[in-house]
Amino acid sequence: MARFLPKSLAAAVAAGLALSASVANAETWRYAFEEALDEVQGVFAQKFKEEVEANSDHTVQLFPYGTLGESADTMEQAQTGILQFVDQSPGFTGSLIPEAQVFFVPYLLPQDTEKLGEFFRTSKAINEMFPELYAEQGLELLTMFPEGEVCMTTQEPVTGPPDLDQVKFRVMTNPLLVESYKAFGATPTPLPWGEVYGALQTGIIQGQENPMFFIESTKMYEVTEVITCAGHNNFTTAVMANKDFYDGLSEEDQTMIQNAIDVAFDHIIDYQKGLHEESIEKIKEAKPSMQVNTLSEEERQPFVEAGASVEETFLEMTGEGGKKILDQLKADLEAVQ
């Protein structure tokens, strides 16, 4: 004789099976970034994690800077699939994707946070052209976002390129950034981030550059005397997924990830409003003797003129592909001015 479950019990069994299937499909995704949990990349990552976990059965495990090695290590781990997500500046991906060095052409990006946010949100170069280049390296480019105006820290005041003469200046291992500081008159010295504080402390180098929040949070002001904001750049970073992993996801999961990225993007642009000024206040409170100087338009002009040669170097390094990206970026920037 056939046996039938009561409707209520059948529904409960079905729900249980659905839950088991859901749990079986749930995954833990690993996401590494180049900063601490309470710094800009970490704030973005936490918002992304929150959105993913609120809208799926997946969990996101976060790995701040240093927990899985240096930037080169986390990039390799992302490309091989050990990591599902990685946040890394084009400064470190320049050797893989030469065109990504365009973000180090001096005076290309504006400093206005709202204009920058709109540019990164709508740029054809970023959202249509760069993904193809990242895909060639086994990476799905999910977004790029700005982290704040880059300022120089030195032992002596800087009012023009002559003041950087003979100054050993730490730069990321990025050919175009090396060329920028050569053009500015300094002696560029590539160093892993983990060695920078000690190198400043012992005088191996005399300068470095970073957004103000990072200078404050890493206490770079303890081993330097002057901060100079010349308006030459805004730190850019990129969030990527391992492409094989991403392509293997369901359409539903891909949409959920992109929605989480969009929410985190809006959150981080909003989070940065006033962050530069707040960081200066914290630095001056911690070290009252600290000089923080913002160069006038007149003082910046020699840096602007020196930076023009760096754009030419970028075009020499990247050829026609680099020219197309640079031209499109300029058109995208013009659209939000």
Digit-coded pLDDT (tens) for 11-51:
443 344 333 333 346 899 999 999 999 999 999 999 999 99
In DSSP terms, which residues pair with 209 in a beta bridge?
A: 152
Taking only the tens place, the pLDDT of each residue in 115-145 is 888 999 999 999 999 999 999 999 999 999 9
Residue carrying the six token digits 């970023």: 126
* DSSP secondary structure code for residue 128 in this structure: I
Structure-block tokens of residue 281: 């206040």
8 Å CB contact between 88 and 237: yes
pLDDT in tens, 44-53: 999 999 999 9
Report the chain's C-alpha Rg in angstroms: 23
Per the DSSP assignment, residues forming a β-bridge with 60 are: 29
In the prediction, which pLDDT does 4 show? 34
Please name the residue that has the structure tokens 């910046």: 300
Residue 58's pLDDT band (cuts 50, 70, 90): very high
**How high is the pLDDT of residue 264?**
98
Average per-residue pLDDT for the chain: 91
Is 80 exceeded by the pLDDT of residue 161? yes
What are the phi and psi torsion angles at 138 (to 5°)?
75, 25
Average pLDDT over residues 174-179: 89
Q: State both tokens at 293.
A: 């100087």
For residues 285-312, average pLDDT = 95
**Better pLDDT: 265 or 96:** 265
Distance CA(22)–CA(125), nearest Å, equals 38
Residue 173: its pLDDT value, please? 80
Q: pLDDT value at position 70?
A: 85
More confident residue, 173 or 134: 134
Contact between 62 and 49 (Cβ < 8 Å): yes
Tens of pLDDT along 81-123?
999 999 999 877 877 899 999 999 999 998 887 888 899 999 9
pLDDT at 110: 86
The first and second tokens of residue 48, run together, are: 């992304």
Would you say residue 330 has pLDDT above 50? Answer: yes
Distance CA 158, CA 265 (A): 34
Give the pLDDT confidence score for residue 309 in this predicted structure.
93
Question: How far apart are alpha carbons 242 and 262 in whole angstroms?
Answer: 18
Mean pLDDT (whole number) for 277-290: 97
pTM (2 decimals)?
0.89
* DSSP calls for 9-34: HHHHHHHHHHHHHHHHH--EEEEE-S
Which contacts of 197-204 are long-range, i.e. CB under 8 A and separated by 24 or more positions? Answer: 197/222, 197/223, 199/170, 200/153, 200/170, 200/224, 204/168
